[in-house]
Amino acid sequence: MLRYSAMRLLLFIPIIICVTFIIFALMDLAPGTIVDTMITEEMTEEDIEFLRSKYDLDKPMIVRYGKYLGNLLRGDLGSSQITGLTVWSQFSERWPNTMWLSLFSLMFGVALAIPAGILAAKYAGTIWDNITTAIAMLGLSMPNFWLGLMLLTVFSLKLKIFPAAYDGTWRSFVLPVVANGFAMIASITRQTRSSILDVSRQDYLRTARAKGVPERQVTTRHKLGNAWIPIITQIGMMLGVTLGGSAVIETVYSWPGVGYLMVEAISRRDTTMACGCVILTATAYSLVLLLVDLVYAAIDPRIRSAYARGKKRRVKA
Amino acid sequence: MSKKSVDTAIKDQAVVCNDDVVLEVEDLVVHYVLKKSVVEAVNGVSFKLKKRRAIGLVGETGAGKTTTALAIMNLVPDPPGIIKSGNITVCGRDMLKLKPQQLEKIRGKDISMIFQDPMTSLNPVMTVGQQIAESVRLHERVSKQEAFERAIEMLELVGIPGERANDYPHQFSGGMKQRVVIAIALACNPSVLIADEPTTALDVTIQAQVLSMMNDLKEKCNTALVMITHDLGVVAKMCDDVAVLYAGRIVESGTLEDVFNNTMHPYTEGLFNSLPNIENRGAELKPIPGLMPDPTKLPAGCTFADRCSYATDACREKVPETRRVSETHTVACSRYDEPGFRIEGWQHG
């Protein structure tokens, strides 16, 4: 298991290299440079040339990338090319906002989705099932930025119940959490419903009943013991997605999180900042997925032994 | 009902358990009520099983064998299954009238069941030891440790090394899994064991091993056995009595000798004719023509009439009565109303 985790972390190095290269290339291909965002009317040609050479823009992209990687290897994520603040300081300042938003969204989603899924499974084929399915489809097909904007219009502009942007209070969490959580509700509800239905048909429940296990224990020990494995996976994936991908919601709500930071950096052609944010977000994402995998292995012996088997084979080879 | 009164209620009834008959099924009728139709799965099955005896319930797929077994355990899935009528007595207790709590105390303790497919009948996230110990813990006042030790003993009894108790089902082969299932079923030393096609999902060499092991355990544990199978060979090897099921009715029943050597029902004859003959390997198999009638639209009269070469118009009108031809042998065929009627393969004097 330890070996597996180490492998997963090692695999992370090529991913970082690829991702940073892609960002560098895209930023280079995108029209405009960081210098274009700084030019003022009083600047002379020499001033502009000086700025360009200051940011190495007179050198090929690959040279800049090499320099960046070199720094990265020494653990230096660099500083924002605009504000001069280090990437790490900016990221660590913004990160809690994103994390809380993600966690609350997930909690909101899970708190509604799991009971809804259980209900849908219990009354499968009835009107309750159809209602939850319809809501789930709605959540799945509605883009979260659209829902975010709609919530903003209704509850913030018209009704003035909740603030439109982050103000540090719990009230400002409500709208982004709902907008972010709604899409999760859809997929977690569907997953809960189908895995409970799937497990309910399994023969081992009959075996349990035949040996005299009381019905409540059949549900808690045998049914849920199996049903929550795919649900956990789904939740873990959702957490990963919102940690990395709340950029849209953060932009809609001017949320001082990592996603917004990244979007700002990209639009101002601040390559170091954008790259740094991507690296750190990707790291968080992979760590979460690794954690989910470990939880998965802890609750499912079949997965556990698949890891063990892989280990044995490697030893033999 | 409080827990204590459940206990005493069971104790009161348990006195009858000394009786020789450990399982009695009387006129069992089970239907599955679907949206547009009713599946008449079991239509009046009766049989008795005495201590330490083994009865084979034989029949084609869909004859109602598994439904009968589930009804005995009172585990017919509801909905859609409904036990319409009948009595089922296990060790003197009426399974169909007990409360769920009382049933839970009987299942696994007095009567237990082995299912057809060992691949799916074990919980994949519990170790096999836990699954055996769970049964012991439910029915006996033992500590977790003692229950687990019993689980290890049971594993060794079915020929699996005790140290494998901490392994999970996916780490076992099919035959081994079926042994585990058997160990679970026998963990509390039940008076009656129902085995629902226990070897159908296994390959032939493993089948033989599992069957002879079951035979040994049956002797060792003094368990009465209901063997559900479509394999007449299994019946010959394992059972003392046989009941042949067709479309939810017992068409012929008796001792092994009665049914195998003095076959009387045309359907039973058909079953034997569709087996390969080991003495004459070149002989053509004579399968029974046609299929079992649709259980949602059972014909009036004898349900086998449409496939029966002896059938007359009278057969299609009246449901054949079960007639007793000897102390042990019964047959349900209207043609025996005519004195002197014999099926082709009749060998008895």
CB contact under 8 A, A204 and B112: no
pLDDT digits (tens, 9 = 90+) for A72-117: 888 888 888 778 888 888 888 888 888 888 889 999 989 988 888 8
Q: Which of B239, B255, B275 is the last residue of a domain?
A: B239
At residue B57, the pLDDT reads 92
Q: Both A205 and A234 in a single domain?
A: yes
Residues B273, B134, single domain; the answer is no
pLDDT for B103 beyond 60: yes
Spatial CA neighbour of B3 closest among A220, A211, A214: A214
User: Structural domain of residue B330, as residue ranges?
Assistant: 264-337
Residues A93 and A57 reside in one and the same domain? no
Decide if A81 is inside a domain. no
Q: Is the domain of B97 the same as that of B155?
A: yes
> Is A316 or A50 the better-scoring residue by pLDDT?
A50
Residue A199 lies in a domain: yes
pLDDT per position as a tens digit, B279-299:
777 777 888 888 888 888 888
**Chain B residues touching A202 at Cβ < 8 A:** 120
Cα B287 to its chain centre, rounded Å, is: 24
Asked if A210 has any chain B CB less than 8 Å from its own CB, the reply is yes
- A283 shares a domain with A189: yes
Is B75 inside any structural domain?
Answer: yes
- What average pLDDT does the segment A216-221 reach? 85
User: Residue A245: its pLDDT value, please?
Assistant: 61
Is pLDDT of B133 > 90? yes
Establish if A233 touches chain B: CB-CB under 8 angstroms. Answer: no
Residue at B253 is within a domain: no
Question: Does B199 share its domain with B279?
Answer: no
Q: Look at residues A73, A100, A130 and tell me which one is the last residue of a structural domain.
A: A73
Does B88 lie in the same domain as B187?
A: yes
Whether residue B259 is contained in a domain is answered as no
* pLDDT confidence of residue B12: 46
Give the pLDDT confidence score for residue A309 in this predicted structure. 58
Confidence bin at B16 (pLDDT 50/70/90): very low
The verdict on B213 and B272 lying in the same domain is no
Task: State pLDDT tens for residues B182-228.
Answer: 889 888 888 899 999 888 877 888 888 888 888 888 888 888 999 99
Same domain, A160 and A251: yes
Residues A139 and A37 in one domain: no
Residue A187 lies in domain: 88-316
Report how far residue B295's alpha carbon sits from residue B247's, in angstroms, rounded to the nearest whole number. 7
Write down which residue in A73, A101, A125 finishes a domain.
A73
Enumerate residues 176 to 195 of chain A having a beta carbon within 8 A of any beta carbon in chain B. none
Interface test with chain A among B6, B10, B103, B104, by most A beta carbons within 10 Å: B104
User: Do A111 and A216 fall within a single domain?
Assistant: yes
Same domain flag for A145 and A55? no
| Overall average pLDDT of the A302-312 stretch | 66
Residue A312 contacts B where some CB pair is shorter than 8 Å: no
List chain A residues with CB under 8 Å of B127. 301
Instruction: Work out the pLDDT band at B243, boundaries 50, 70, 90.
Output: very high
Search chain A and give the residue with CA nearest B139.
A212
Dist CA A151 CA B308 (whole Å): 73
- Region of poorest pLDDT, from A118-122, B193-197, B242-246: A118-122
Q: Which of A207, A222, A229 sits opposite B115 (nearest CB)?
A: A207
A31 pLDDT above the threshold of 90: no
Is B344 inside any structural domain?
A: no
Q: B224 and B127, same structural domain?
A: yes
**Residue ranges in chain A assigned as alpha helix (H):** 2-10, 12-29, 45-54, 61-73, 87-122, 127-141, 144-151, 171-200, 203-210, 215-217, 225-245, 247-252, 258-267, 271-299, 301-316
Q: Please indicate if any CB of chain B lies within 8 Å of the CB of A298.
A: no
Is A207 in contact with B138 (Cβ distance < 8 A)? Answer: no
Domain shared by B121 and B11, yes or no: yes
Contact across the interface for B122 and A300, Cβ inside 8 Å: no
Tell me the pLDDT band of B9, cut-offs 50, 70 and 90.
very low
Q: Say whether both B187 and B275 belong to one domain.
A: no
Please say if the pLDDT value at position B152 is more than 90: yes
Chain A residues close to B187, C-beta within 8 Å: 211
d(CA B80, CA B103): 20
Beta partners for residue B81, in sequence order: B32
> Which CATH number fits the domain that encloses residue B10?
3.40.50.300
DSSP letters of B253-298? EEEHHHHHHS--SHHHHHHHHTSPPSS-TTSPP-PPSS-PPPTTSP
Query: Cβ B139–A212 below 8 Å, yes or no?
Result: yes
Together in a domain, B104 and B164? yes
Q: Are residues A100 and A57 in the same domain?
A: no
Query: Which of B197, B224, B239 lies at the terminal end of a domain, its last residue?
Result: B239
pLDDT beyond 80 at A193: yes
Q: Higher pLDDT residue, A246 or B25?
A: B25
pLDDT greater than 70 at residue B14: no
Provide residues of B within 8 Å CB-CB of chain A.
73, 75, 100-101, 103-109, 112-113, 115, 117, 120-127, 134-135, 138-139, 168, 170-171, 181, 184-185, 187
Average pLDDT over residues B240-258: 91
Least confident piece of the model among A121-130, A307-316, B24-33: A307-316
Strands lying side by side in the sheet with B54-58: B111-114, B192-196, B224-229, B54-58, B241-246, B249-255, B330-331, B323-324
Average pLDDT, chain B: 85
A268 domain-assigned: yes
A100 and A197 in a single domain? The answer is yes
Residues B165 and B227 in one domain: yes
Nearest-CB residue to B117 (from A203, A229, A305): A203
CATH number, domain of A100, equals 1.10.3720.10
Q: Note whether B278 and B227 are same-domain residues.
A: no
Q: Does A270 touch chain B (CB under 8 A)?
A: no
A18: which 2 tokens? 């690829």
Query: A96 and A67 in one domain?
Result: no
Cβ contacts of A301 on chain B, cutoff 8 Å: 124-125, 127, 168, 170
The predicted pLDDT at position B18 comes to 52
Q: Over 60: is that where the pLDDT of B229 sits? A: yes
Domain boundary among A25, A49, A73: A73
- Structural domains counted in chain A: 2
The reply to whether residue B107 touches residue A211, judged by beta carbons under 8 angstroms, is yes
B16 within some domain: yes
In a domain? residue A82 = no
A50 and A101 belong to one structural domain: no
Helices (H), A218-270: 225-245, 247-252, 258-267
pLDDT at B1: 43
Min distance B135 CA to chain A CA atoms (Å): 6
**Could you tell me if residue A80 is inside a domain?**
no
Which residues of chain B are within 8 Å of residue A207 when distances are taken between CB atoms?
115, 121-123, 181, 184
Measured CA to CA in angstroms, residue A179 lies from A151, A250, B159 at distances of 8, 11, 58
Whether the per-residue pLDDT at B244 is higher than 90: the answer is: yes
Q: Which residues of A touch B101 (CB under 8 A)?
A: 214
> Does the beta-carbon distance from A210 to B73 stay under 8 Å?
yes
Of B105, B170, B184, the CB nearest to A207: B184
Question: pLDDT value at position B240?
Answer: 92
A285 and A201, same structural domain? yes
Same domain? B15 vs B116: yes
Report yes or no on B342 lying in a domain. no
Which residue in B has a C-alpha nearest to residue A207's C-alpha?
A: B121
> Cβ A207–B135 below 8 Å, yes or no?
no
Domain count, chain B: 2
pLDDT score of B246 more than 60: yes
Does residue B343 lie in a domain region?
no
Residues of A in contact with B108 (CB under 8 A): 210-213
CB pairs under 8 A between A and B: 83
Once rounded to an integer, what is the mean pLDDT over residues A278-300? 82
